[in-house]
Amino acid sequence: MEQSNTSTVSFDNEMLFVVDENDQVLGYEDKISCHSGAGILHRAFSIFIFNSQGQLLLQKRSDQKLLWPHFWSNSCCSHPRKNEWLERSTLRRLREELG
């Protein structure tokens, strides 16, 4: 497997999809606002990767992360970008995170 992209930056000013409880887009808000205080409901995805023995690949979050630094997390997670299909978002993020 290739090395992960260590130069990947968390774009805190990235605009996220703000949604209602039915995943209907209400507008856009920056990542920091979506994750501040009580938070704002927004689109996100989590990917869980299992090997053939059923073992789950986990990652330990960086101490530089704003949310949950040093916590163990799923294999990969992120947010779809404006004008980006979910499948493309997940493939992009998997390449950035895992190589």
Domain count, the chain: 1
The structure's pTM equals 0.79
Residue 77 lies inside a defined structural domain of this protein: yes
Would you place residue 2 in the very low, low, confident or very high pLDDT band (cuts 50, 70, 90)? very low
Could you tell me if residue 5 is inside a domain? no
Looking at the domain assignment, is residue 83 inside a domain? yes
Question: Residue 21's domain is classified under what CATH number?
Answer: 3.90.79.10
pLDDT 10s digits, 72-96: 999 999 999 888 889 999 999 999 9
Phi, psi of 34 (to 5 degrees): -65, -30
pLDDT band, residue 10 (cuts 50/70/90): low
Residue 67's domain comprises 15-98
**DSSP 3-state assignment of 91?**
helix
Which residues, 6+ apart, have CB-to-CB distance to 25 below 8 Å?
A: 17, 18, 19
Q: How far apart are CA 4 and CA 59, in angstroms?
A: 12
